[in-house]
Structure 1
Amino acid sequence: MNLATLALFLPACFALNTAPGPNSLLSISNATRYGYRTSCMAGVGRLLAFAMMIALASAGLAVVLQTSELIFYGIKIVGAAYLFYLAYQLWRAAPQAETESKNAPIGLCALARQEFFVAAGNPKAILIFTAFLPQFVDQTADIGSQLTLLGLLFLVLECKRLPKSPCVS
């Protein structure tokens, strides 16, 4: 993977990570209810779910590419169209205020499990991994190592996004 590709991937990945979604809202909600540190520690559940989804998407994409370059190209086109659709939906969305609720505090493991299941149950996340990562893969080089590197960079940027997380300080 060359530096030009990484120079395109990192800002695109950063923008994708900062787009609000169910996990972002859950993390913000947990931070307001239980504090930043607890919310960031619970974010490990999200990172674990994303790592599993990246691994599954990478394995599937590598098999598809080895089978048919035309199908892989089709996946890239459909993925790019999906990303444009998401951008359009985000652009047109009306901001909504989160309703405040008072819940009893729950344990860190329960919060991490909640983060994991919200991330794992989010079909948008797996679609993003299968649509976004292939855009930066060089088909002439080792696909597995490229997808691994891109996935790790995605997770690092996701970790950096957590407010006052141990990754940032």
Structure 2
Amino acid sequence: MNINLWLLFLLTTFFISGTPGPNMLLMLSHGARYGWQATIATIGGAIAGLSILIGLSALGVGAILSSSVFLFNLLKICGALYLIYLGIQSWRAGELLQFNAPEAHHAPARFRVGLAVALSNPKAILFAGAFLPQFIDLHRPQHTQWLILLLSFFLIEIAWQLAYAWGGNRLASWLSGAGRIRFFNRSCALAFFVVGIGLALAPQ
């Protein structure tokens, strides 16, 4: 594909993916609670969710969402409520380093949480439908370009999620201090609340 378009895509995607959002916040939280290796299951769920959203965009769902304000807002509210639910869980964790929940012990449960959080933001469908096509050169074979862009996107996304999980894991020893775990859990809870409310109030 056009090398200049690809480099611009890499730079833009690097900063977009690295911006703290629901997925990255979840990886930071799980990395601190369960370790970065255990958080790989969470990352797997998030990547699966993003793959589903991009697939839906390819099927034309993005066009439907962009034209139906009611449907888009309904999905947005559902996603926001789930993020707020995670915030409530984190707030109630108190002095516990781990949630008293199945995902603390079972990889499939962590996978499902990652999947649910990734699916909670319908804007990812519009991202795939509106952002990615801007880097396609119509004068070159399109299937190859799509493959390159998607592989690049997922590699960058996985790298950032691993970085956030590793960063959270590095916080674990610091969190052993008195009162710090409660502070971390409450901070994560407030962050989930802010992201959830922000998602609900964000314009289409």
TM class by shorter chain equals 0.5 to 0.7
Q: Which has the larger radius of gyration?
A: 2
Alignment of 1:1-169 (within 5 A): 1-60=1-60, 99=91, 101=93, 102=96, 103-104=99-100, 105-163=104-162
TM (norm. structure 1) is: 0.68
Q: Which amino acid aligns with 1:113?
A: R
TM-score (norm 2): 0.57
CA deviation map 1:98-135 (0-9, x unaligned): 85723222411101111011112211222222221011
Q: Secondary structure at the match of 1:54?
A: helix
Q: RMSD between aligned alpha carbons?
A: 2.6
Which amino acid is 2:111 matched to? A
Give structure 1 stretches of 5+ with no counterpart: 65-74, 76-97
Distance in 2, Cα, partners of 1:58 & 1:145 = 15
Q: How many corresponding residue pairs?
A: 132
The whole-number CA distance in structure 1 between the counterparts of 2:139 and 2:55 is 20
Cα distance in 1 between the residues matched to 2:147 and 2:162: 25
Are the equivalent residues in 1 in contact too, given 2:23–2:114 (CA < 8 A)?
Answer: yes
Aligned-partner Cα distance in 2 for 1:138–1:13: 18
Counterpart Cα distance in 2 of 1:116 and 1:142: 32
How far apart are residue 59 of structure 1 and its match?
4.7
Question: Structure 2: 5+ residue runs without aligned partners?
Answer: 67-89, 166-204
Show CA shifts across 1:24-54 (max 9, x none).
Answer: 1111111111111111232011111212222
| Contact 2:54-2:124 at 8 Å conserved across structures | no
Question: How high is the sequence identity, in percent, across the aligned residues?
Answer: 32
CA distance in 2, matches of 1:39, 1:161: 13
Counterpart for residue 178 of structure 2: none
Q: Distance in 2 between matches of 1:54 and 1:148?
A: 12
